[in-house]
Chains A and B, each alone.
Chain A
Amino acid sequence: MATPPAPSAAQSPELAVGESTRVLIARLALDAALALDGVAGPEAGPGRVWTTPAGSERLDGVVVTAVPGGRYGVTLHLVCELVPLHPLADRIRERLARAVTATGLEEALGPVDIAFEDVAPEPAGSGGPEPAEASAP
């Protein structure tokens, strides 16, 4: 089982030098998810178990584990907004695939599981979606 090498700093200047492939994929996955409208944030879970340690920092809401074939499976645990969730999950996967390809790690990316764990609180002053008015009797 060969582990693909981590990209050089020249290939991906925005990524910290020396990070493992697993941590790089975790960072890319989290960035891909949080960049999209409809994703309110990561969910670290009870006891902060859904976290990937990355040196001195922790990447909450993402767990990356080695899977057979030298690849890494990603599980994202997210807090969502009230948007259609399956299309949102597809957009996250597409964005992550593009990011991983851009950094030369496409051979290392395994299945991407996405778990919507909670719904974000509505912003203060937001009335939410248009109310369903009761018609007069």
Chain B
Amino acid sequence: MERATTEQGQGRGTQGGSAGGASLQSSRGSTTIADAVVTKIAGIAAREVSGVHNLGGGASRAVGAVTQRVGIGDERSQGVSVEVGEREAAVDLKLVIDYGESIPQVSEQIRDNVVKRIEGITGLSVTEVNLTVNDLYFPGDDEPDEEPRVS
């Protein structure tokens, strides 16, 4: 995990951290925000948008389903990667969108919400939110293909 620094506010300097995230240095100490925090904020913000069915590529969703079942995975960071710099963050998201939604509209709403949440919570400026829509969800995708043989 990388850790970077950020400088905000009058009379404040910067200081590198040790294990990933953004850091704000003041005379009374530093505040560090780990990459995992920015990742989860982005994942939560994307899921808040109507039309987003899931996050992650096919492989990561399959692996995520297993890891979450055994309690070691976190759905909120699935399909999200972030790069956090001194003052800025860039976000990449992999998405599954509900069939029938306007992908350009949903994408714009995701960008707006991700930027709003990350900037509001961490103070970092979000320079880019790159989206990859790698699947569509159809109602019924989750239903079993065959009727059960026993009642």
Interface residues of A (CB under 8 A from B): 73-74, 80, 82-86, 89, 93, 111-119, 121-122, 128-135, 137
Contacts and interface: CB of A to CB of B under 8 A. Distances in A.
B17 A119 contact: no
Given A115-B34, A117-B37, A134 B121 contact: no
Given A86-B24, A117-B36, A131-B50, A112 B29 contact: yes
A115 B17 contact: yes
Given A82-B121, A111-B28, A117 B34 contact: yes
Contacts of B30: 111, 113-114
In this complex, the interface size class of chain B, counting residues with CB under 8 Å from chain A, is 20 to 34
Contacts of B57: none
Interface of B: 8, 17, 21, 24, 28-34, 36-37, 40-41, 44, 48-51, 74, 76, 101-102, 105-106, 109, 112-113, 117, 120-123
A115 B30 CA distance: 8
Contacts, number: 93
Contacts of A130: 48
A99 to B, nearest CB: 14
A116 B8 contact: no
By CB atoms of chain A within 10 A, which of B30, B48, B51, B121 has the most?
B121
Contacts of B32: 113-116
A131 B47 CA distance: 8
Nearest to B75: A121
Contacts of A133: 50
A113 B31 CA distance: 6
B29 A74 contact: yes
Given A85-B31, A111-B29, A80 B37 contact: yes
B114 to A, nearest CB: 10
Contact of A134 (B21, B31, B51, B120): B51
9 contacts: A82-B121, A85-B121, A112-B28, A114-B32, A115-B31, A119-B36, A119-B44, A132-B109, A134-B49
Contacts of A115: 17, 21, 31-34
Nearest to A119: B40
B33 A116 contact: yes
Given A85-B123, A86-B24, A134-B109, A114 B31 contact: yes
A93 B50 contact: no
Nearest to A110: B29
B23 to A, nearest CB: 8
A86 B34 contact: no
Contacts of A119: 36-37, 40-41, 44, 76
Nearest to B35: A117
B138 to A, nearest CB: 17
